[in-house]
Amino acid sequence: MIVYTLAASLHSMGIGPNPVEPTTPPGFDPNTVTPGVAGFVAIALVAIATIFLLVDMTRRIRRVRYRGEVRERLEAEQAMIAEGGPAEPEPEQPTER
């Protein structure tokens, strides 16, 4: 009900769909409109920037993961030293199937 009242009041103020069709120049074909060289360059720059950002993000994620692994190893060494065991943990032996 409110929508119909609002639409009626806007229409009475002259706000609403435009009854006038836009005019186009004679011989204009909307299928031949292209962004041109400037549009291609803009999209190419966006694509290159995206690739650089993805490479940088991957590098940063790897760095954080490696730092976490090193931190875990150091904490394990500290725990072994605190327990009075060897300074370096023994390497894990592969299990046979």
Query: Tens-of-pLDDT digits for all 97 residues of the chain?
Result: 666 676 666 666 656 566 666 677 788 887 888 888 999 999 999 999 999 999 999 999 999 999 999 999 999 999 888 888 665 556 666 666 5
Task: Say what the pLDDT of residue 30 is.
Answer: 78
Task: Say what the pLDDT of residue 49 is.
Answer: 98
68 assigned to some structural domain: yes
11 assigned to some structural domain: no
75 assigned to some structural domain: yes
Q: Which of 60, 58, 93, 92 is nearest to 73 (CA)?
A: 92
- Please state whether the predicted TM-score (pTM) of the whole model is above 0.85: no
- Number of domains forming the structure of the chain: 1
What are the two backbone dihedrals, phi and then psi, of residue 13, each rounded to the nearest 5 degrees? Answer: -85, -5
Task: Say what the pLDDT of residue 3 is.
Answer: 62
Q: Whole domain around residue 70: which residue ranges? A: 59-84
